[in-house]
A and B are shown apart, each in its own frame.
Chain A
Amino acid sequence: MGATSVHRTVDAVWRMESAKVIAALARYVRDVGLAEEMAQDALVQALEQWPEQGVPRNPGAWLMTTAKRRAVDQIRRRENFARKVEEIGRDVQETTPDAAEGIEDEIGDDLLSLMFTACHPVLGTEARVALTLKMLGGLKTEEIARAFLVSDATVAQRIVRAKKTLADAGVPFEVPEGPELASRLASVLEVLYLIFNEGYSATQGDDWLRPELCAEALRLGRVLAELAPKEAEVHGLVALMEIQASRTRARTGPGGEPVLLLEQDRGKWDWLLIGRGLKALERAEALNQPPGPYYVQAALAACHARARKAEDTDWQRIAALYQVLAGISPSPIVELNRAVALSMAFGPAAGLALVDEIAGEKALQGYHLLPSVRGDFLVKLGRTAEAKAEFEKAASLTRNERERTLLLERAASC
């Protein structure tokens, strides 16, 4: 095996094993920052040794053992950590590459702890995202930087600060229990969905890594669903991401222009992912827990996914689900979406009535979709002069050139 080929293998092994190595080390040293540094040291040794000595039979266990030895070396230098040295030293003796399969169960709990730690609310959103991709996704700093269109130094700084914040705050390396679990889980789910959306919204541009973000969020969501199978919202989020990801190929036209959901060629949807999404939704439903926002959004996505043709869409169910969502996560945007669903289910007058109710909402001032949606309802009701004014207003508010052209065309046709 040539050096390049070995490096590619090292990269692959690192992506697969780094989270497990960091998680297992963090259990001993109780400091994810330190654990990550030791895992990185093991990676450097692998890059030095494997091209000459060959890739070991069990590279994951090799990384784990090497990192734990580094941990022992580090901690030996600190007198007050004598107990931990004994603990890890014993473990290194026991953890031979051949014995690695036996630690898989422990690893599951450690991985879950690592997810909760990397997504701890004490960290800002950007820090949580960067730390999750670095420690759980095995992405390099430069890969994260490229994905988020920022410099390597910015991401590196975010990660360093995040690790320091966790250490300063004394965040315990554990899976939260009791009432804390719900809010901490919400934080983890938020991070995964943010990562997914960062990839999903990147339909323009040619940076290959942005779709990779989508895939990584989906993978981490599936891992989380395996680790926390009794949490309906986890399955809800997985269902939502699977179904949204299924539309990737249909979301843009030949010129890269966005294609709206109802105008998409459903033959281009990925029916394997839709099937997986619907199954994840069933798992969430089977748990009989109060509906959470991800579950409801997944149920909404499923309504579209189940319709083979746009005209088969069950708009009455969609309108009802938006009402449930408005009860869980009230927002003017949800209400605007509900107005569209009401219009499709019961006619434009029903949609217009709701739009007029929420038109005064502060959050919607300056939001181009409010006049755009209102204009659409007015056209359907034959009130073309009012519709024209609404489309012109929407065109003046949007920052997207392609959308502005479309809205002005609609105004001109009134």
Chain B
Amino acid sequence: MRFMVFVRSPSPLAALHGDALRHAGVLLDAGDLVPGACGVSGYWLIDVRDHEEAVERVKRIGLPACVVEIRQVAVV
């Protein structure tokens, strides 16, 4: 299953390079979004077995205070 992980933070996010996800073989794509009113945003596209695994993998990344949204990609 594919999940899109959106991260919104008031400060730049070096962690968005997603090394841990890449080392685990689940990172398909990553990128920055154009900064908006909520600050800096970026995304990861990951391929994992289920929602629980998506949550657990993202929880392991040392993110600063920010908003994280994990959404399953509809059609793959």
Q: Closest CB-CB distance, B49 to chain A, in whole Å?
A: 6
Name which residue of chain B comes closest to A224, CB basis: B25
For residue B71, CB closer than 8 A to chain A, the reply is no
Instruction: Contact check, A212 vs B25: say whether CB atoms are below 8 A apart.
Output: no
**In the bound complex, what is the Cα–Cα distance between A101 and B26 (angstroms)?**
19
**In the bound complex, what is the Cα–Cα distance between A26 and B50 (angstroms)?**
28
Q: Closest CB-CB distance, A79 to chain B, in whole Å?
A: 39
What sequence of 0s and 1s flags, for each residue 23-54 of chain B, a beta carbon within 8 Å of any chain A beta carbon?
11110110000000000000001010110110
**In the bound complex, what is the Cα–Cα distance between A242 and B57 (angstroms)?**
22
For residue A199, CB closer than 8 A to chain B, the reply is no
Q: Closest CB-CB distance, B24 to chain A, in whole Å?
A: 7
Q: Closest CB-CB distance, B11 to chain A, in whole Å?
A: 21
Q: Which of B25, B45, B50, B76 contacts A223 (CB 8 A)?
A: B25
| A interface majority secondary structure | helix
Name which residue of chain A comes closest to B75, CB basis: A249
For residue A276, CB closer than 8 A to chain B, the reply is yes
Instruction: Contact check, A222 vs B49: say whether CB atoms are below 8 A apart.
Output: no
**In the bound complex, what is the Cα–Cα distance between A108 and B55 (angstroms)?**
23
Stretch from A10-18, A46-54, A385-393 that touches the partner = A10-18
Give the residues from 12 to 49 in chain A that come closer than 8 angstroms, CB to CB, to chain B.
12-13, 15-16
Q: Which of A11, A226, A270 contacts B22 (CB 8 A)?
A: A226
With a cutoff of 8 Å between Cβ atoms, the chain A residues found around residue B49 in the complex are 12, 15, 212, 215
Instruction: Contact check, B52 vs A11: say whether CB atoms are below 8 A apart.
Output: yes
For residue A221, CB closer than 8 A to chain B, the reply is yes
With a cutoff of 8 Å between Cβ atoms, the chain B residues found around residue A215 in the complex are 47, 49
Instruction: Contact check, A16 vs B56: say whether CB atoms are below 8 A apart.
Output: yes
**In the bound complex, what is the Cα–Cα distance between A121 and B49 (angstroms)?**
30
**In the bound complex, what is the Cα–Cα distance between A212 and B47 (angstroms)?**
11
Instruction: Contact check, B28 vs A272: say whether CB atoms are below 8 A apart.
Output: yes
Q: Closest CB-CB distance, B2 to chain A, in whole Å?
A: 9
Q: Which of B25, B28, B53, B76 contacts A12 (CB 8 A)?
A: B53
Interface size, chain A (Cβ < 8 Å) = 25
For residue A220, CB closer than 8 A to chain B, the reply is yes
With a cutoff of 8 Å between Cβ atoms, the chain A residues found around residue B26 in the complex are 219, 222
Name which residue of chain B comes closest to A7, CB basis: B52
Q: Closest CB-CB distance, B27 to chain A, in whole Å?
A: 8
With a cutoff of 8 Å between Cβ atoms, the chain B residues found around residue A13 in the complex are 56
**In the bound complex, what is the Cα–Cα distance between A219 and B22 (angstroms)?**
10
For residue A8, CB closer than 8 A to chain B, the reply is yes
Instruction: Contact check, A223 vs B52: say whether CB atoms are below 8 A apart.
Output: no
**In the bound complex, what is the Cα–Cα distance between A382 and B52 (angstroms)?**
60
Give the residues from 29 to 88 in chain A that come closer than 8 angstroms, CB to CB, to chain B.
59-60
For residue A252, CB closer than 8 A to chain B, the reply is no
With a cutoff of 8 Å between Cβ atoms, the chain B residues found around residue A15 in the complex are 49, 53
Instruction: Contact check, A12 vs B52: say whether CB atoms are below 8 A apart.
Output: yes
What sequence of 0s and 1s flags, for each residue 366-388 of chain A, a beta carbon within 8 Å of any chain B beta carbon?
00000000000000000000000
With a cutoff of 8 Å between Cβ atoms, the chain A residues found around residue B45 in the complex are 272
Give the residues from 215 to 248 in chain A that come closer than 8 angstroms, CB to CB, to chain B.
215, 218-223, 226
- The verdict on A226 contacting B23 (CB below 8 Å), with A9-B52, A60-B60 known, is yes
- The verdict on A108 contacting B47 (CB below 8 Å), with A8-B52, A12-B53, A12-B56 known, is no
Name which residue of chain A comes closest to B57, CB basis: A16
**In the bound complex, what is the Cα–Cα distance between A306 and B50 (angstroms)?**
32
**In the bound complex, what is the Cα–Cα distance between A19 and B46 (angstroms)?**
19
**In the bound complex, what is the Cα–Cα distance between A101 and B15 (angstroms)?**
14
Name which residue of chain A comes closest to B60, CB basis: A60
The chain B residues found within 8 Å of chain A, CB to CB, are: 22-26, 28-29, 45, 47, 49-50, 52-53, 55-57, 60, 62, 76
Known contacts A15-B53, A270-B76; 18 additional CB pairs below 8 A are A8-B52, A9-B52, A11-B52, A12-B52, A13-B56, A15-B49, A16-B57, A59-B56, A60-B60, A104-B23, A108-B23, A221-B25, A222-B25, A222-B26, A223-B24, A223-B25, A226-B23, A272-B28
Q: List 17 A-B contacts (CB under 8 A).
A: A8-B52, A12-B50, A15-B49, A15-B53, A16-B24, A59-B56, A218-B25, A219-B24, A219-B47, A220-B25, A222-B22, A222-B26, A223-B25, A226-B23, A270-B76, A272-B29, A276-B28
